[in-house]
Amino acid sequence: MKSIVLFLLIPFSSILYSQQDFECGMQPGYFEKYPIGYQVNPPQIGGMHAPAKTLNGAYVRIFYVFAQFSGDNKNINDANWPKDSMPIWANSFIGTNPNQAPFPINTISNYFYAMSNGQNIIIGYVHPQLIIINGSINQDYGRSNRAVLQQIDQTVNFQNYDQWRMMANYQQTFNQTDNYVDALYIIWRNIGYRWGGIADLGDIGPDSNIWGPFITNDGVTITSRIPTISMTLNIGSKSDYTFQNKIGLLAHEYGHYLLGCGHSFENTYACGGTAQRGLGVMNSGSGGTLAMNPQEKYLLGYTTYSDIFYNQSGTLPDYQSTGTAYRIPIPLFVNGNPNINPDEFFIIANHQKLSVYEFTKTTGIYIYHVKSNFYGHNHMDMITADGLWQYTVSHWIDPRPYDLGGSADWACSNWPNNPFLLPVPKKSTVDRVNGRDDLQEVVRVQYPHDGRYYWWDRWFDEQGIHITSPLGDALDAFNENYNQLFSPWSNPATYDKLRTHTYTTVQLISKSGNLFNLQFYTDYSSSLSAPPSKPQNLKLSIIQQNGESYPKLTWEVNAEPDVNPNGKYEIWRRVSYGSWSNWDTVKTVNGSTLEFIDIAIYGAGAGLNQVEYKIRAKDTQGLFSVYSDVVGTAWGLSQQKSPADHRINVVYEYKLYENYPNPFNPNTTIQYDIKERGLVKLKVYDILGKEVAELVDEVKDAEKYLINFNANKLPSGVYIYSLSVNGFIQNRKMTLLK
């Protein structure tokens, strides 16, 4: 069987840093053709149309030619690719000799060498002259590509680029010719289209019967037959001409040669769908985050998974440097046996940005939901640590000052035409089942001028900042500083693709250097033994009571049955009068409570002082969640109190705090809170229970108190200090070191 040829037309548009810069040039109507889980291609291990591994001295050699239209007047004096010249990086972006492996950093050769763990050697030859085609940048690119080949045909021996014979998909044989060029890229300075790579040599579509494949002077065939790639890289369409900003586009389009049609995540611009940015080189539309994700490497045979079937602990090093990732099959068992060949599963991978090709926004645990083990559209999602939400609109922005392309690109096809507005979305309520995450590129919100709901492309984030990166944000990863639990009750939750519970849980226990320690739970009861999930949607509003303004906190109750209703929420607060105090608990409420009004903070909403809040959940096992996100406001501008009366004197509960410093020598400070007037006793005991000091024995009003304890007459050791008042007793330890 003859080899299918890769013909890469490359209008070098922006690659991985700009969501709007290009679409990958799949055929019209392809994007929404397949439902979730549809098997677009047969199961794939290895390269579909090109070898994923070039072992035993084999290699792939790609032919590159740079081209320009005579009417290309965009950025004519660009320092990286001026008009009528070759780009300055033309002779350095790919290796030319297989013996150069592992090749210089930031080359296509080094990229594939690194991603394949040294198993894929790709080199190239660059045609030494820029090919100029008469006409504007809006010429038909298929015919223009053919014109480029016609100009170089007499001077190139294309037989040198026929080294592989394709017997069938996933079956290629080195050193066997089939009279087809193996791989060819035409890289244009500018083409007047939005996509970054497309397969067309004038031999597809309405002209296919006229033009057909291109037969070279030496009898070798060049074709752009789908589903292989005939790619035009449109280097300068909306970004600069540097190679470093384009490497992802070349890698992405060659990835189609390896993996086939489709993308790892659902396509960009799928109105009403779940179009999503994601990690990996085969993200739709934007080139992704460059480094291959675990499933891309798995399908090419570069890595395997460690499967989770039972409750267990595990350690997870950086993925790109070790290839280690966990897989949780869905379901875990089939007919009572471990599901060792799952079609659906979660991938747990640690991305520490140790590779030069890793462009994630932040380090941490990234979770992928593979909905079908068959490569193609819809087959996987990113699970973002900041969860799934319903959205409303913060405000509207006129898109015309931004470089978003024409108005047809501003929103989905059913959008209203006037006036020119695009939404700034804002999280409204948690929706673990049908919500959307902030990596998804469309959002359904109400349009103010007609009251109707439309799907809108997400061009602006919640701060109203124009989104120019497909890389997500710093809240996408699970880590020790943000969200440590992925469970049936967390947001996001461990639902399968049919939105039913899997009752599996992943808990981040600790982090040491670049290594995460994890705990996996695989059923309902064991998942419930994990700590509560992070409290969601903490909001602060200002309310008026008796002529005074106070902060009101609201949140959404946890879904865990051991938190709501019998668990607790701790409300924490810190204040600033120019510098921040320590965080302190101000109130504990039951697990079904949804709000709290802090009457200690008056004049809320304005003033010179600041206050911030966070909450955490406590379940019936006594386990705590991580803290919620932080909210805050100004305060202190009061109609009822004098400007000097700024100190907080409302106490919500009895409490004895840890002494500071601890250990100490010989002085330390002890703080305690009294909720109601009563006889207060504060005493110090040695480790045997003998009283060694009495610090307080008197009636005190409700208030916060500080007292200094001097232990210069006591020997080193551990001591117990005890508070008792109105039937409340609390003890704490302190250590004296002399």
Angstrom distances, CA of residue 21 to CA of 67, 78, 141, 406, 698: 20, 18, 18, 12, 73
Describe the chain by its helix, strand, coil percentages, rounded to 5: 10, 35, 55
pLDDT for res 393: 87
Distance CA 101, CA 63 (A): 19
Tokens of residue 34, six digits:
């397949």
Distance CA 285, CA 526 (A): 41
Ranges of the chain with pLDDT below 50: 1-23, 25-42, 226-231, 237-238, 268-270, 286, 406-409, 413-414, 639-646
Angstrom distances, CA of residue 345 to CA of 279, 349, 367, 492: 17, 13, 10, 15
Distance CA 109, CA 60 (A): 10
- Delimit the CATH 2.60.40.10 region(s) of the chain: 536-635
pLDDT for res 440: 72
- Delimit the CATH 2.60.40.1930 region(s) of the chain: 655-736
* Cis peptide, bond prior to residue 342, ω within 30 of zero: no
pLDDT for res 249: 81
Angstrom distances, CA of residue 162 to CA of 186, 400, 507: 17, 48, 51
pLDDT for res 373: 77
Class in CATH terms, 536-635: mainly beta
* Identity of the residue numbered 624: F
pLDDT for res 508: 97
Query: What is the pTM assigned to this prediction?
Result: 0.82
Within its chain, how far is the Cα of 225 from the centroid?
Answer: 34
For residue 295, the SS3 value is helix
Class in CATH terms, 655-736: mainly beta
Q: Cβ atoms within 10 A of the Cβ of 380, count?
A: 26
Q: Cβ atoms within 10 A of the Cβ of 657, count?
A: 18
- Burial class from Cβ neighbours inside 10 Å (0-12, 13-18, 19+) for residue 431 reads middle
